[in-house]
Structure 1
């Protein structure tokens, strides 16, 4: 297992006894966030140390999403207040990543829960969208296997 000295999440992987673990398998660990957006907020992390989204192997990324789906279903089936679920993955400081070990937030949502995304959603011209699509397609690599 790849671990990074001083990484708080690698420390939790090494010794999960001080965390409220809800899932533990060969490649993924899920535990309660200590600063939750809402009650039931879970973090799904790879056991290996990966920093960003593109660092994670496709198999591990897929496993993280599968575990997140299970967490979402469990939240909806539990006594938690859960009228919906958000997934949030921050990749890089500018994207608000604070712990530089890949992690996927899964948290229950309900009306007036206080969570908001303060973004300026605005339309773009067809030309602008086409130009952005071309820039992505020009460097797009097939998924790693």
Structure 2
């Protein structure tokens, strides 16, 4: 239980930590990564504190995948990406011990190679908010 209390993603879900949310359901929240691989990089998390994919309750699986599909479509429709990179880590390389799926907008020639994930940043909070608004517009 203490792990969930100290979890940054649980704090985002609870509204205690600010994040640019792009999608919310009864069971899930998606928000912009603050250290994106590319601008518009989204993280999808269950509201319930779950550490890894094998821990995800069966009742959440379909909704989680459906939301991932919507987000993969949104980065194309809302941001003009040509496609997306969708991934998650389980324990190893999992920077926050709360299940999260990355949806990263991709464009041919963008420089992403293999499993090295260079990070970028937004110019400011206004630019980050603009990316979130563009995604929300196609998700609503």
Please state which band the TM-score falls in when normalised by the shorter chain: 0.7 to 0.9
For residues 22 and 34 of structure 2, the distance between their equivalents in structure 1, rounded to whole angstroms, comes to: 13
Give the C-alpha shift of residue 24 in structure 1.
0.8
Give the SS at the match of 1:61. helix
For residues 56 and 88 of structure 1, the distance between their equivalents in structure 2, rounded to whole angstroms, comes to: 15
Q: Number of residues paired by the alignment?
A: 114
For residues 1-145 of structure 1, the aligned pairs below 5 Å read 4-15=4-15, 18-78=18-78, 80-93=79-92, 96-118=93-115
Larger of the two Rg values belongs to structure: 1
Q: 1:10 to 1:91 in 2, by over 3 A?
A: same
Over the aligned positions, Cα root-mean-square deviation in angstroms equals 1.8
Q: Which runs of 5+ in 2 are unaligned?
A: 117-140
Is residue 8–residue 17 contact of structure 2 (8 Å, CA) maintained in 1? no
Give the C-alpha shift of residue 33 in structure 1.
0.5
Is residue 43–residue 106 contact of structure 1 (8 Å, CA) maintained in 2? yes
Alignment TM-score, normalising by the size of structure 1: 0.73
Give the C-alpha shift of residue 70 in structure 1.
0.7
Runs of 4+ in 1 over 2 A off after TM superposition: none
Give the C-alpha shift of residue 116 in structure 1.
1.8
Give the C-alpha shift of residue 113 in structure 1.
1.7
My pick for the range that moved more, 8-17 or 98-107, is 8-17
Give the C-alpha shift of residue 16 in structure 1.
6.2
> Per chain length, whose mean CA-contact separation is higher, i.e. which structure has more relative contact order (CA < 8 Å, sep 6+)?
2
Q: Which runs of 5+ in 1 are unaligned?
A: 120-145
Give the C-alpha shift of residue 17 in structure 1.
6.5
